[in-house]
Structure 1
Amino acid sequence: MQITITGALGNIGSALTKNLVKAGHELIVVTSNNGRTTEIEELGAKAVVGSISDAMFLAEAFAGSDAVFAMTPPNLGGENVIANTTQAGEAFATAFKASGVKRVVMLSSIGADLPNGNGPIQGLHHIEKIYNNLEGVVFTFLRAGYFYTNLYNDIPVINGMNAIGANYPAETIVPFVHPNDIATAVAEELELVPEGNKIRYVISDVRSAADVAKVLGAAIGKPALPWVEFTDEQSLQGMIQAGVPAEIANLYTEMGIGIRSGKIQSDFIRQGSPVIGQIKLEEFAKEFSTKF
């Protein structure tokens, strides 16, 4: 198969590229960074350079492919994030129609069923709706859990406060995912053609926030590391003081509220809380310790 993937060689793209090349597929990797072309080609894939907001460029990148992996980056643009993300989805949709591609796997998220109250995930909700209205293309919406790798952002807090936390309590249950498990699920879906559009949750582990503090703390030599529930204002101001743009900080604070209320996890739970990933929190903690 000829497959085009977006997302370059990020946390998901690197593992996905290796998996697909190893499986014998002809792979085209979309990147916005001309400096990464050599790295992509060394993995056995073809690199094409351009913007994912450019529908004409995307159509050329998708032309002739049997399947496409569609991924819009988080926090697209830093400002007007939801609008920018949605516009990128519209560019993808235009490119799908123009290129004639028939099979697409989209990286979405838990909480994408919600029209609001889900922070940056709202953009993915809009994109799912756009894609669902396209005729002649079969989609899998891969709704991923909270990335383990986002926990790296807590390292400064751990170092400064000897604590880890967010604006939800220790007993909150969070579905987590490892990028490698996403890459595995994407590869599986790209090789399948379901009869119609479908939603698939990709989750590696379901754990409490207290478990996160306990397991990560043990891995970094801080077995008593506590989980601290910050107020929404503390969470917001902490991110802003750390240099996060105010709009993005507000969106992530809103996402924390959605996790705290349980609404972001609710559809995943209604679907039976399926866990298909293999990389559990304890295994990720070993990776975390190497970054600490």
Structure 2
Amino acid sequence: MKIVLTGSLGNISKPLTEILVKEGHQVTLITTDANKQAAIQAMGAQPAIGSITDPSFLVKAFTGADAVYCMNPLDFTSRDVSTWDRNMDRYVHAIRETGVKRAVVLTGWIAHLLHSVQPEKKFEALNGVSVTFVRPGPFYSNFYHLKDMIRHQGMIMSNYGGEDMVAFVAPEDIAAAIAEELNAPAAVGLKARYVASEELTCTQAAQIIGEAVGIPGLQWITLPGEQVKQGLEATGVSPEVAGLLVEMQENMHNGKAQEDYYLNRPALGKRKLKDFAREYAAWYHQN
């Protein structure tokens, strides 16, 4: 198949490219960074240099594709969260204009619960297309952003935590799930697939990370949403994006995220948090 991927050489798209190339697919990988062209070619893929925010480029990149993988990075400094929605509009436009019949779209395990943005709803406008929304839980790699909090505060703080159950996930397991979806026979219409590597309470996750970095008994405590929002803004996150993040986390704390997840529970991936924690600890002590 001719498959177009977004996400450049990121934590998901790089291993996804490796999987699909090995399987014999003709892969085009979109990146905004021309300096990554040689690395993409060395993997056996074709680079497409441009931005998903450019509708004409996106149409050109999708032309002739049998399937596309669409991801939508969140700009933490943006003061306009509707940009997230508009990128989805651009994907829908490019799919419709080029006649692509198969799309896998990375959203998130609370994407269908959000009010401020509704990324999955955009794809309801497509006819005759098979669309899978891949809904991963929080990435293991999110712990990288918590280094200073863990080191200086001696705890993890957010507006979810404690005994809240979280479906943590490794990017490599997301890549494997996306590859499965791209290869599988697909019916026209919309469906969702959750992806998780390990189901843990926040307390259990904090214990694993704490033991790895040498802080036994590391706690993950729950704070009021407004306090978390103020803390995010203090680190440079825009008020608009901080509000969106708090909304996401609230759905993990109040149990709504877990409701549909349990009804559509996936087989867990291979990479467990303890595997990641060993690598994280090495990085943590070097930075």
Specify which of 239, 244, 255 is matched with residue 248 of structure 2.
255
Where in structure 1 do 4 or more consecutive aligned residues deviate above 3 Å? none
Q: Distance in 1 between matches of 2:182 and 2:259?
A: 27
Secondary structure, counterpart of 1:244 in structure 2: coil
Aligned mates of 2:77, 2:34 — CA distance in 1: 19
Report what 1:167 is aligned to. 159
Corresponding position of 1:38: 38
Q: Indicate the residue corresponding to 1:3 in structure 2.
A: 3
Q: Does 1:242 align with 2:241?
A: no
Partner SS, residue 127 of structure 2: coil
> C-alpha distance in 2, partners of 1:253/1:129?
21
Q: How does 1:179-198 map to 2 (within 5 A)?
A: 179-196=171-188, 197-198=190-191
* Structure 2 residues without counterparts, runs of 5 or longer: none
Report deviation, 1:59: 1.3
Whole-Å separation in 1 of the counterparts to 2:185 and 2:107: 18
- Tell me if 1:265 matches 2:258: yes
Are 1:277 and 2:269 an aligned pair?
yes
What's the secondary structure of 2:73's corresponding residue? coil
Does the alignment pair 1:140 with 2:116?
no
Runs of 5+ consecutive residues of structure 1 not aligned to the other structure:
117-121
Contact kept, 8 Å, 1:77 with 1:84, in 2: the verdict is: no
Mapped pair 1:202 → 2:195: yes
- 2:121 pairs with 122, 129, 135, which one? 129
d(CA) in 2 for partners of 1:60, 1:259 = 38
- Over 3 Å counting, the alpha-carbon distance change for 1:234 and 1:138 in structure 2 is same
Give the number of equivalent residue pairs: 283
Contact persistence 2:77–2:237 (CA under 8 A): no
Q: Report deviation, 1:16.
A: 0.7
Residue 79 of structure 1 is matched in structure 2 by 79
TM superposition shift of 1:28: 0.3
Q: How much does 1:227 deviate? A: 2.0
Deviation at 1:229, TM superposition (A): 2.2
Structure-2 residue corresponding to 1:286: 278
Shift of the alpha carbon at 1:188?
0.9
Query: Aligned to 1:78, what secondary structure does the other structure show?
Result: coil
Instruction: Tell whether 2:20 aligns with 1:20.
Output: yes
- Return the offset for 1:172: 0.8
TM-score normalised to the size of structure 2?
0.93
What is the CA distance between 1:45 and its match in structure 2?
A: 0.8
Aligned-pair CA distance for 1:115: 4.2
Task: Work out the CA distance in 2 between the residues paired with 1:248 and 1:128.
Answer: 18
- 1:113 deviates by 2.1
AA matched with 1:109: G
Whether the 8 Å CA contact 2:3–2:65 is kept in 1: the answer is yes
Letter in structure 2 aligned against 1:25: H
- 8 Å CA contact 1:76, 1:85 repeated in 2: no
State whether residues 77 and 236 of structure 2, in contact with CA within 8 Å, keep that contact through their aligned partners in structure 1: no
The question of 1:218 aligning with 2:211 is answered yes
